[in-house]
Amino acid sequence: MQYQHVTISRHGGSDVFEMVMDERPEPRAGEVGVRVLATGVAFTDVLIREGLYPGLPKVPFTPGYEVVGIVDQLGPGVAGLDIGQRIAALTVVGGYSEYICLPEHECVSVPPEVDVAEAVGLVLQYVTAYQLLHRIAKVQPGDLILIHGAAGGVGTALLELGHLAGLKMYGTDSASKHDLIANLGATPIDYQQQDFQQQIRRLTPNGMDVVFDAIGGRHLLGSYQTLAPGGQLISYGFSSALSAQWGRLLIVGGSMGLLTLLNIWPDRRRAVFYNIADLKRRQPNWFRDDLMSLLDLLVDGSIQPIIADCLPLTDAAAAHDLLDHAAVRGQLVLLCNETFQANSSKPESKSLPVEHPSALG
């Protein structure tokens, strides 16, 4: 049987995507064949598309960091999953596809009642936020935290989970998204018009207990300087590398060197780096447990992921254009197979409006 998937055969802009038709592979021993229902599109996919993410396979490959799908084939030796079961997985690559084979142990069962678009957003962005707060920072109620890019996918997840954990929150982002940040319980700071260090000093003379920084480069120093004694800087990305005209990989390497220096600097403050895929390799049970906890929070309505837009799989390039040029609030999702039609005919949609590139001039 044939299936469609998106491939990139060189790194670059959103024009590198191509839809390809192939023969469906058979699951090998210990694997299941999964009919993909939804896959997320996040800033990390942009870094992968541009070749700025460590440890990528050689081109051509299919991108796609996370999937929710239905098991429709069992390879030899699979005992813990059934045909028809809904699962989620962190694939890192391979998710922009109608079909994928996955090792059984990578699959986490998804309750049938949850919305697939909301569930897929938990796998990368909410697990990242959950682990940043509870596995790395180990936050306590009343802690003061600063989140850069607070209106983005990971940022809004940090705000929702931070609110549940009883934290006092501050969030930087562009002014057009400050209503969203305030509605999620944080004090917004306009990073384009204001100096965030000055604002933090004005608002909290003692400084932050934890700062979450995915901007990287020199920005890390500013974040570190807003920390209270005993505070922690947690770096988890290098989005500043993308806008750099040259030396992109130097910014990534330089950020890691700077974190090492800050961490050994004898002033009782700490600087660490977090990566979801590395932590999952080292602590696979944490990933499974944390995703299951988040699915429970989704089922009982404690979290309500913000879905910016749902597009068909064939619109992967358009989804990346939105991330490159538009003000996306929350999570973008690609729906595969018949899921897109089913979702578009739903009477009510939870999507927030996205400012499309043409509207931004």
Ligand X SMILES: NC(=O)c1ccc[n+]([C@@H]2O[C@H](COP(=O)([O-])OP(=O)(O)OC[C@H]3O[C@@H](n4cnc5c(N)ncnc54)[C@H](OP(=O)(O)O)[C@@H]3O)[C@@H](O)[C@H]2O)c1
The residue (of 193 and 285) whose beta carbon lies closer to ligand X is 193
Q: How many CB atoms lie within 10 A of CB 109?
A: 17
The residue (of 64 and 237) whose beta carbon lies closer to ligand X is 237
Q: CA-based angle 118:281:78, to the nearest 5?
A: 75
Strand partners, 161: none
Contact 117, 344 (CB under 8 A): no
The residue (of 52 and 100) whose beta carbon lies closer to ligand X is 52
Phi-psi label, residue 58: left if phi above 0, alpha if psi -120 to 50, beta otherwise: beta
Q: What's the closest the beta carbon of residue 308 comes to ligand X, in angstroms?
A: 8
Contact 335, 313 (CB under 8 A): yes
The residue (of 47 and 71) whose beta carbon lies closer to ligand X is 47
User: Strand 99-103 to strand 31-41: parallel, antiparallel, or no bridges (unpaired)?
Assistant: antiparallel
Centroid of chain to Cα 358: 25
Q: What's the closest the beta carbon of residue 275 comes to ligand X, in angstroms?
A: 4
Euclidean distance between CA atoms 330 and 301, whole angstroms: 17
Euclidean distance between CA atoms 10 and 18, whole angstroms: 11
Binning the chain into helix, strand and coil, the percentages to the nearest 5 are: 40, 25, 35
The residue (of 108 and 326) whose beta carbon lies closer to ligand X is 326
Q: What's the closest the beta carbon of residue 4 comes to ligand X, in angstroms?
A: 25
Residues 6+ apart with CB under 8 A from 43: 152, 153, 237, 239, 323
Euclidean distance between CA atoms 180 and 160, whole angstroms: 11
Q: What's the closest the beta carbon of residue 132 comes to ligand X, in angstroms?
A: 8
> Closest residue to ligand X, Cβ-based?
152
Euclidean distance between CA atoms 313 and 335, whole angstroms: 6
Specify the residue for token string 């079909």: 99
The residue (of 148 and 248) whose beta carbon lies closer to ligand X is 148
Q: What's the closest the beta carbon of residue 130 comes to ligand X, in angstroms?
A: 11
- Residues of this chain that interact with ligand X (CB under 6 A) are 42-44, 47, 124-125, 128, 148-149, 151-155, 172-174, 177, 191, 214-215, 236-237, 239, 274-276, 323, 327-328
Q: What's the closest the beta carbon of residue 276 comes to ligand X, in angstroms?
A: 3
The residue (of 38 and 70) whose beta carbon lies closer to ligand X is 38
Q: What's the closest the beta carbon of residue 310 comes to ligand X, in angstroms?
A: 15
